[in-house]
């Protein structure tokens, strides 16, 4: 009846005043699209998160992309990692936006650092790297990926003996051992002499370390001095060619297989990374012997090295894993976070890597 009444009223209106009869709609859904009320605000709110946008009144503004304010390194898993990848993509990289600080991101950070004159190259995302990245983004500068560090090959290169060669020797967490080698032409670009005691005065290559490791070693030695202990740095950086001479001499004296239990083949030595240092004390006549581990300096070193980013690289009881004899004198820089974890878990760098890929 209600519908009939509306029709009669429309006809009367037409007859009396000449107006055209209007359609009468029972609900919003019955009305034509041009007369429907569009819930624009609701739709924009619903799409805001997906599009990375914010709404101001009836206008849509793009959410600013900023690099994270955090210290990040290989194997980290965090939302900040995907935020970092997103920021790098705005300046020219093409990284998959996952939460994993993978080898690809380690390469990108290394490549970016190598292309920036003022950055220490490490593959680690830190405060100075963030500041440089912010400058690129604020100035709308773009980078050419791979100009600093070549893109990793699809198939890794190998040595003549079949050992995989690292495509990123600058990585401070690089695993270098009997299964992973350094390029024979790799020489770290940031080698400096740490301000610590040496048992010799000559300016020899073995005094040098990469910058981050050198500064950390200075802090380590300063703490030892405060503890009234006297340590000496004995042997740091060693070139590929120098390692050839050392291993050849050891192999000639003791046989190649036995020599390789205490001496690395060329390319397989951590000393070539510039991240390792052999440490000794007067109590063992400034020599590199296992007895150093029983001295006050050796015990202190094992306990305190992780606080400054170092690990005892070849610990006792792990010879089957590392492939080398116990060396309480040999420390390797991996950064405080990783050093603390490896030491607390009583594992080696090899075991740490295995954990990450499980």
Query: Which regions of the chain carry the CATH code 3.30.1380.10?
Result: 169-356
Rg of the chain in Å (alpha carbons): 32
Is residue 3 over pLDDT 50?
Answer: no
Which of 6-15, 152-161, 255-264, 280-289 is predicted least confidently?
A: 6-15
Mean pLDDT calculated for residue range 242-260 = 93
How far lies 301's CA from each of 231, 255, 261, 312, 348, in Å?
9, 32, 23, 8, 16
Is residue 183 over pLDDT 80?
Answer: yes
Q: What is the dihedral of CA 83, 84, 86, 92, to 10 degrees?
A: 170
Residue 54 pairs with which residues in a beta bridge? 61
**Over the stretch 185-234, which tens digit does the pLDDT of each residue have?**
999 999 999 999 999 999 999 999 999 999 999 999 999 999 999 999 99
> Which residues are CB-contacts of 276 (< 8 A; sequence separation ≥ 6)?
236, 270, 313, 330, 331, 332, 333
pLDDT bracket for residue 22 (50, 70, 90): very low
How far lies 170's CA from each of 45, 62, 331, in Å?
45, 36, 18
Q: What is the pLDDT of residue 2?
A: 46
**Over the stretch 27-60, which tens digit does the pLDDT of each residue have?**
444 444 444 444 444 444 444 433 344 444 444 4
For residues 7 and 335, which has the higher predicted lDDT (pLDDT)?
A: 335
Which of 47-51, 145-149, 171-175 is predicted least confidently?
A: 47-51
For residues 47 and 101, which has the higher predicted lDDT (pLDDT)?
A: 101
Say how far apart CA 318 and CA 314 lie, in whole Å: 7
Query: Which regions of the chain carry the CATH code 1.10.101?
Result: 79-138
Q: What is the pLDDT of residue 211?
A: 98
User: Would you tell me which CATH number, out of the four given (1.10.101, 1.10.3470, 2.60.40, 1.10.760), belongs to the domain 79-138?
Assistant: 1.10.101
Which residues in 108-122 are b (16+ Cβ under 10 Å) and which e?
A: bbbbbbebbeebbbb
How far lies 263's CA from each of 205, 233, 260, 266, in Å?
18, 19, 5, 9
Residue among 280, 274, 271, 316 at smallest CA distance from 298: 280
Domain 169-356 carries which CATH code? 3.30.1380.10
Mean pLDDT calculated for residue range 244-253 = 94
Which of 22-36, 63-77, 332-346 is predicted least confidently?
A: 22-36
Mean pLDDT calculated for residue range 228-245 = 97
For residues 181 and 33, which has the higher predicted lDDT (pLDDT)?
A: 181
pLDDT bracket for residue 79 (50, 70, 90): very high
CB atoms closer than 10 angstroms to residue 353: 16
How do the residues of the chain divide into helix, strand and coil, expressed in percent and rounded to 5?
45, 10, 45
CB atoms closer than 10 angstroms to residue 320: 6
Burial class for 269, CB neighbours closer than 10 Å (0-12, 13-18, 19+): buried
Residue among 93, 267, 274 at smallest CA distance from 172: 274
Q: What is the pLDDT of residue 154?
A: 87
Is residue 16 over pLDDT 60?
Answer: no
Say how far apart CA 176 and CA 158 lie, in whole Å: 13
| Full DSSP string of 62-98 | EPPP---SS-B-TT-BSHHHHHHHHHHHTTT------
Mean pLDDT of the chain: 87
Q: In this structure, what DSSP letter does residue 284 have? A: G
8 Å CB contact between 168 and 314 = no
Burial class for 307, CB neighbours closer than 10 Å (0-12, 13-18, 19+): middle
């Amino acid at each position: 009846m209600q519908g009939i009444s509306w029709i009669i009223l429309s006809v009367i209106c037409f007859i009396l005043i000449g107006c055209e009869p209007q359609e009468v709609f029972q609900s919003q859904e019955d009305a034509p699209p041009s007369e429907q009320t569009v819930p624009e605000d609701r739709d924009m709110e619903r799409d805001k998160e997906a599009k990375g946008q914010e709404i101001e009144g009836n206008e849509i503004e793009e959410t600013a992309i900023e690099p994270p304010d955090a210290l990040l390194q290989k194997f980290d898993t965090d939302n900040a990692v995907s935020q970092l990848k997103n920021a790098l993509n705005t300046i020219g990289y093409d990284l998959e936006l996952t939460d994993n600080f993978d080898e690809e991101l380690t390469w990108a950070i290394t490549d970016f650092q190598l292309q920036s004159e003022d950055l220490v190259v490490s593959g680690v995302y830190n405060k100075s790297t963030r500041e440089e990245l912010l400058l690129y983004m604020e100035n709308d500068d773009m980078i050419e990926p791979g100009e600093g560090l070549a893109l990793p090959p699809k198939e890794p290169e190998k040595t003549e003996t079949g050992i995989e060669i690292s495509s990123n020797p600058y990585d401070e967490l690089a695993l270098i051992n009997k299964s992973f080698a350094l390029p024979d032409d790799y020489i770290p670009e940031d080698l400096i002499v740490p301000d610590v005691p040496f048992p010799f005065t000559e300016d020899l290559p073995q005094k040098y370390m990469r910058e981050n490791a050198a500064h950390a070693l200075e802090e380590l030695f300063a703490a030892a001095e405060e503890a009234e202990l006297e340590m000496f740095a004995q042997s740091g950086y060693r070139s590929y060619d120098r390692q050839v001479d050392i291993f050849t001499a050891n192999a000639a004296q003791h046989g190649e297989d036995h020599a390789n239990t205490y001496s690395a083949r060329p390319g397989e030595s951590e000393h070539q990374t510039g991240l390792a240092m052999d440490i000794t004390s007067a109590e063992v006549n400034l020599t590199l012997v296992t007895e150093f581990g029983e001295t006050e300096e050796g015990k202190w070193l094992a306990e305190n090295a992780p606080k400054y980013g170092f690990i005892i690289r070849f610990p006792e009881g792990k010879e089957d894993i590392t492939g080398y004899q116990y060396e309480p004198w040999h420390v390797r820089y991996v950064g405080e976070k990783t050093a603390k974890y490896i030491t607390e878990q009583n594992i080696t760098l090899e075991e740490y890597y295995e954990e990450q890929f499980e």
